[in-house]
A and B are shown apart, each in its own frame.
Chain A
Amino acid sequence: MHYPANVIPIRVNCSGRVDAGMVLKALEKGADGVLIGGCHPGDCHYVNGNYKTRRRVTLLRRALCEVGVDPRRVRLEWISASEGARFAHTIEAFTDEIRTLGRSPVAALTGGGDE
């Protein structure tokens, strides 16, 4: 199972821990895309954290539209801990999509990150 090496993982216990500020910080510091992985709806290891994530990401993507950042740069994907192949496939697909979107306008502005 292999996938592109351009993704850095940050481990949190639950996708519910992820808030908009964190995603924006990542975009500010140079990420061209941010992928949030959580348990499938109904299967949240912590009961229902993923439902909150879903709402937060929906609002965030709308806000990103307003400020001229393509919302496709932030992706929420339901991947369970046992779905290694699905994870790899998601990374590949997301990488391809980000490549077509090009360098993030935020990163270009803040000068954060590299390549």
Chain B
Amino acid sequence: MYNIWTIARRELKHYFISPIAYAVAFMILLIVGVIFYTNLLASMIYQQFAPGVDIVVGPIVTLILFTTPAITMRTLADEQRSGTMELILTAPVRDWELVTGKWLGAFLFYFIIILITWFYPIILNQLVSPGIDQGLMIANYLGLLLMIASLTAIGVAVSSIFSNQIAAFFATAGILLFLWMIGFPSQAMGASTAAEILKYLDLSEHFFSTFYEGVIELKNIVYYVSITSLALFLGSISIQSRRWR
């Protein structure tokens, strides 16, 4: 555990001195801010709806889908390219500790950004009477964090395969988008087992129809935790196999 924390801390620190993380943070905060402002303005003008936490979390989820590859692409790929992998793999660090540490670093980086965006629900709570639905907000944020955990885990796992960051970026983006809409065909397939399986595998399905609506169900938590664990496991296997190549 200690090694995981050492690696995660170093990763987190690295994010805050690298421009890419700032660019990602800037992009998320700017776009979420603009959307938040627009929604607020629209609801004030038309007086049709009271804005909820979804106007913040909705865009964040989409942005995270696209920024995760940029955040995770260098995690392990860069260690391989620069040769520092040799140093870490000859230190008394287990492969899974390395992968988990890298993932935790990326996760904590997002966690901090998400913490910053908490400002919006707080503002919203002040503006809307009688305040926003707190349960909905908790469900949304919980789902968001679970989603981030699995997306970053996939990103780190993909990064372990490559020594080229750009390759890691596009491979991660491809895999994430694929998993994001794998449930799409199920809509046209009618009620069949295959459709159910596709729907179950879908990354977005477990968020938008549940947490996003304020429903916290164990099976969805299990889904994200499983995806995260599976990705980290595969990442460790990939590091291990690197030794054998």
Decide whether A and B assemble into one complex.
no
B residues with CB within 8 A of A = none
A residues with CB within 8 A of B = none
